[in-house]
Chains A and B, each alone.
Chain A
């Protein structure tokens, strides 16, 4: 995974519980305590998943709560690093349609073409009709709930309300996760037209 993921997680842990919490998580996850994650480098998926699991265990929060906190911190971080991505999109729908490309930006830091392709293939977003977007997520990491948290966080950032449906999920045996994100106010505008 791109280093920014882990970087944000560690910064969040430090914010919530100081260096001490951060070190406990690193230790539980069997990660080098002096690790310094770079945003332009790729790191082990398994390591990242261990860090997330250790965070849940050490903070006492539920997984969803961790994802929600993480989503907020992650968006804040990305927004500070790449504010222009947020300015380009008029609303959360525009942003989420670009999310796969933004994810690809992150993948650009990977040196190997096959590594970049692997990251690029994780997400694809396409508009079904105005106010309805379909997202396909394919990753053995199975972080669909993190994506959901991020989606709501993005909507909140733009002041939008969304409905989030997951017609199929890898956790339920599907080959990929599919998200149908709907903007009810846009659907109403279309209906009136």
Chain B
């Protein structure tokens, strides 16, 4: 046999090595064979083939695993796509290292932009955000990247191509690299406009929407106008119709507010009964309309009887308006404040109010009066005037009425007609009421111990509705009286119909308790309200005060005379005392005395004056 028949072990190794070279192209599907009888050579070939078999199997397993992973990834991606589609959110991925932003198609569509498959710079995103919100957004991103917060959760407005700014909620997290540095930030963007700028109940834009639109318009120097409308009879319409509901009512209102030919208006809901309409002055110019025209059109729309809820529904409205260019307004809050002021005037006067410079002056004073009133109350500087009340026939002192007065070193004497409504509007009535009450009790205490020590008298104080709503009002008054050592019978509380109408039940409870403990109750302005008589039936009172409107010139007016006679007789039957207010002429006094024994309050006998002067005048009168 030749060496070729029995290759040496060296040759066997060479044979095997040569065949293994075929694996250079990652082809492991080879089988090594040697032509030798040598068992060691055969063994080497066997083991090499074993190794190759293992490699093949591993590669097959890896390929199978890869395919499974790919399927899994596809499945997960598909699920994720489904979730994202269901959530309707935009997706963003920010590669910090590359400073590149990848945005989903939905992200673009949220801004009404065409989808761009290219990556963007972060600056692109930044530029879409409302200027007022950019800093907040930047701070939030910075905080996330620095690790100060684990999640990004920031709201901002983005500009859309057709529908102005929309509110978005941006959420995200940070992925860190091996050095714990933020390498990728990713998250979603959700359109939250509906929640933020729409009123949930009515579906109308809300106050926030209005405010933002006003801000944007003024920032862009686009003159605009605001018309604020209060629908005074919403409750009546809801109560009158079995078909009406808030959900059905608001769309009707919205429609009537928006419908002005030639002008695009957006109505927002500010409260249950107040709405705002916004429009641009440029459209007024184009349509040849004035703001007064628009207000009138709105009034006409509301007054128009449509067949709503199967009955005729006519909205009774108060309309106040302001135009930014008219008053050179460039601050949104200022414009809004003026619109409210115009509406307030409209409600008070019962007619449309277009806000003017005159109103600004009035409002300035109003604000000043409110500020000073507030300060005076805090400093306990308010002191009422007292107007003496005398028996008509005997001219004996019966008592006094404490009348709220506001004297200010700079403002001068601020009339009750001015500061009382301001106090009501600014929530100061409760404090004012208690301030007058406290000073009155002090005055009673002083007078009962001094000037009027042996003289029966009372001081009457007007009580406001808000005081009567307080469930502890009676207790507080009684405690004050006790603390001051004042007989409750020396205090008389005057209530009017308007005071009672708001919460009669709680008012009656408080008054009953007070009367039960000796405090006397007078029904003021009797005859001026709609249901004076029913209060006589429902309330325990001691005195009727006949309003000045009936007393003035009653000697020349048979009707007034007849009414007063009737009231006097009624009061007498009910064992109520009677006070006639506003007596300024002798003839009036005489006429009243002829009717009966009643107390007289008016300039004829005494004017309201500070405590010292009032008591001095009484002393003079006695002498």
Interfacial residues, chain A to chain B (CB-CB below 8 A): 36, 38-40, 81-82, 104-109, 111, 116
For A81, list chain B residues within 8 Å (CB).
39, 43
Cβ of B226 within 8 Å of any chain A Cβ, yes or no, is no
> In the docked arrangement, what's the CA distance between A69 and B53, Å?
32
> In the docked arrangement, what's the CA distance between A81 and B47, Å?
11
Least distance between B572 CB and chain A CB atoms (Å):
110
| Contact present for B42 and A104 (CB under 8 Å) | no
Least distance between B61 CB and chain A CB atoms (Å):
14
Q: Tell which of A39, A105, A107 touches B42, judged by Cβ atoms closer than 8 Å.
A: A39
Q: Is the interface of B mostly helix, strand, loop or mixed?
A: helix
| Contact present for B37 and A109 (CB under 8 Å) | no
> In the docked arrangement, what's the CA distance between A83 and B491, Å?
120
For B47, list chain A residues within 8 Å (CB).
105, 108
For A108, list chain B residues within 8 Å (CB).
46-47, 49-50, 52-53
Known: A111-B31, A111-B33. A40 touches B53 (CB 8 A): no
Cβ of B481 within 8 Å of any chain A Cβ, yes or no, is no
Least distance between A124 CB and chain B CB atoms (Å):
15
Least distance between A2 CB and chain B CB atoms (Å):
9
| Contact present for B33 and A106 (CB under 8 Å) | no
Other CB < 8 Å A-B pairs besides A109-B49, A111-B33, A116-B53, 10 of them? A39-B42, A40-B33, A40-B46, A81-B39, A81-B43, A104-B50, A105-B47, A108-B53, A109-B46, A111-B31
> In the docked arrangement, what's the CA distance between A104 and B34, Å?
19
Cβ of B45 within 8 Å of any chain A Cβ, yes or no, is yes
Residue of B nearest to A112 (CB): B31
For A107, list chain B residues within 8 Å (CB).
53
For B34, list chain A residues within 8 Å (CB).
40
| Contact present for B37 and A36 (CB under 8 Å) | yes
> In the docked arrangement, what's the CA distance between A38 and B31, Å?
16
Interface flags for B1-44 (1: CB within 8 Å of A; 0: not) read 00000000000000000000000000000010110010100110
| Contact present for A38 and B43 (CB under 8 Å) | no
Least distance between A56 CB and chain B CB atoms (Å):
27
Interface flags for B52-93 (1: CB within 8 Å of A; 0: not) read 110000000000000000000000000000000000000000
| Contact present for B46 and A106 (CB under 8 Å) | yes
For A105, list chain B residues within 8 Å (CB).
46-47, 50
Least distance between B11 CB and chain A CB atoms (Å):
16
> In the docked arrangement, what's the CA distance between A108 and B30, Å?
11
Interface size class of B (residues with CB under 8 A): 10 to 19
> In the docked arrangement, what's the CA distance between A50 and B31, Å?
29
> In the docked arrangement, what's the CA distance between A178 and B37, Å?
37
For A104, list chain B residues within 8 Å (CB).
50, 53
When A and B form their complex, which 3 residue pairs have the shortest distance between CB atoms, in order from nearest? A108-B49, A108-B50, A105-B50
For B52, list chain A residues within 8 Å (CB).
108
Least distance between B57 CB and chain A CB atoms (Å):
9
Known: A111-B31, A111-B33. A40 touches B50 (CB 8 A): no
For B46, list chain A residues within 8 Å (CB).
39-40, 105-106, 108-109
Known: A111-B31, A111-B33. A39 touches B50 (CB 8 A): no
For B50, list chain A residues within 8 Å (CB).
104-105, 108
For A116, list chain B residues within 8 Å (CB).
53
**Interface centre among A39, A40, A104, A105, by most B CB within 10 Å?**
A40
Least distance between B44 CB and chain A CB atoms (Å):
9
For B39, list chain A residues within 8 Å (CB).
39, 81
> In the docked arrangement, what's the CA distance between A81 and B37, Å?
14
> In the docked arrangement, what's the CA distance between A105 and B42, Å?
12
> In the docked arrangement, what's the CA distance between A116 and B56, Å?
12
> In the docked arrangement, what's the CA distance between A106 and B49, Å?
9
> In the docked arrangement, what's the CA distance between A40 and B45, Å?
7
Instruction: List 10 A-B residue pairs with CB atoms under 8 Å apart, sorted by A's residue number.
Output: A38-B42, A39-B42, A39-B43, A81-B39, A104-B50, A104-B53, A105-B50, A108-B53, A109-B46, A109-B49
For A111, list chain B residues within 8 Å (CB).
31, 33
Interface flags for B168-187 (1: CB within 8 Å of A; 0: not) read 00000000000000000000
Residue of B nearest to A2 (CB): B46
For A39, list chain B residues within 8 Å (CB).
39, 42-43, 46
> In the docked arrangement, what's the CA distance between A47 and B53, Å?
27
Least distance between A98 CB and chain B CB atoms (Å):
13
> In the docked arrangement, what's the CA distance between A107 and B31, Å?
12
> In the docked arrangement, what's the CA distance between A40 and B46, Å?
6
> In the docked arrangement, what's the CA distance between A39 and B88, Å?
68
> In the docked arrangement, what's the CA distance between A38 and B49, Å?
15
Least distance between A11 CB and chain B CB atoms (Å):
11
Residue of A nearest to B34 (CB): A40
> In the docked arrangement, what's the CA distance between A106 and B362, Å?
109
Least distance between B555 CB and chain A CB atoms (Å):
121
> In the docked arrangement, what's the CA distance between A104 and B57, Å?
12
> In the docked arrangement, what's the CA distance between A39 and B47, Å?
11
> In the docked arrangement, what's the CA distance between A105 and B45, Å?
11
For B33, list chain A residues within 8 Å (CB).
40, 111
Residue of A nearest to B56 (CB): A113
> In the docked arrangement, what's the CA distance between A111 and B31, Å?
6
> In the docked arrangement, what's the CA distance between A107 and B39, Å?
16
> In the docked arrangement, what's the CA distance between A182 and B46, Å?
32
Residue of A nearest to B39 (CB): A39
> In the docked arrangement, what's the CA distance between A111 and B19, Å?
14
Least distance between B41 CB and chain A CB atoms (Å):
9
| Contact present for A109 and B53 (CB under 8 Å) | no
For B31, list chain A residues within 8 Å (CB).
111
> In the docked arrangement, what's the CA distance between A82 and B40, Å?
10
> In the docked arrangement, what's the CA distance between A81 and B40, Å?
8
> In the docked arrangement, what's the CA distance between A104 and B50, Å?
8
> In the docked arrangement, what's the CA distance between A38 and B35, Å?
10
Residue of B nearest to A36 (CB): B37
Least distance between A6 CB and chain B CB atoms (Å):
14
Least distance between B587 CB and chain A CB atoms (Å):
122
> In the docked arrangement, what's the CA distance between A61 and B49, Å?
37
> In the docked arrangement, what's the CA distance between A105 and B33, Å?
14
For A106, list chain B residues within 8 Å (CB).
46
Residue of B nearest to A105 (CB): B50
Least distance between A38 CB and chain B CB atoms (Å):
6
Least distance between A85 CB and chain B CB atoms (Å):
11
Least distance between A43 CB and chain B CB atoms (Å):
14
Residue of A nearest to B47 (CB): A105
Least distance between B60 CB and chain A CB atoms (Å):
11
Known: A104-B53, A105-B47. A40 touches B37 (CB 8 A): no
Least distance between A12 CB and chain B CB atoms (Å):
16
**Interface centre among A36, A81, A108, by most B CB within 10 Å?**
A108
> In the docked arrangement, what's the CA distance between A39 and B371, Å?
111
Residue of A nearest to B36 (CB): A38
**Interface centre among A104, A105, A116, by most B CB within 10 Å?**
A105
For A36, list chain B residues within 8 Å (CB).
37
Least distance between B58 CB and chain A CB atoms (Å):
14
> In the docked arrangement, what's the CA distance between A111 and B375, Å?
107
> In the docked arrangement, what's the CA distance between A83 and B606, Å?
133
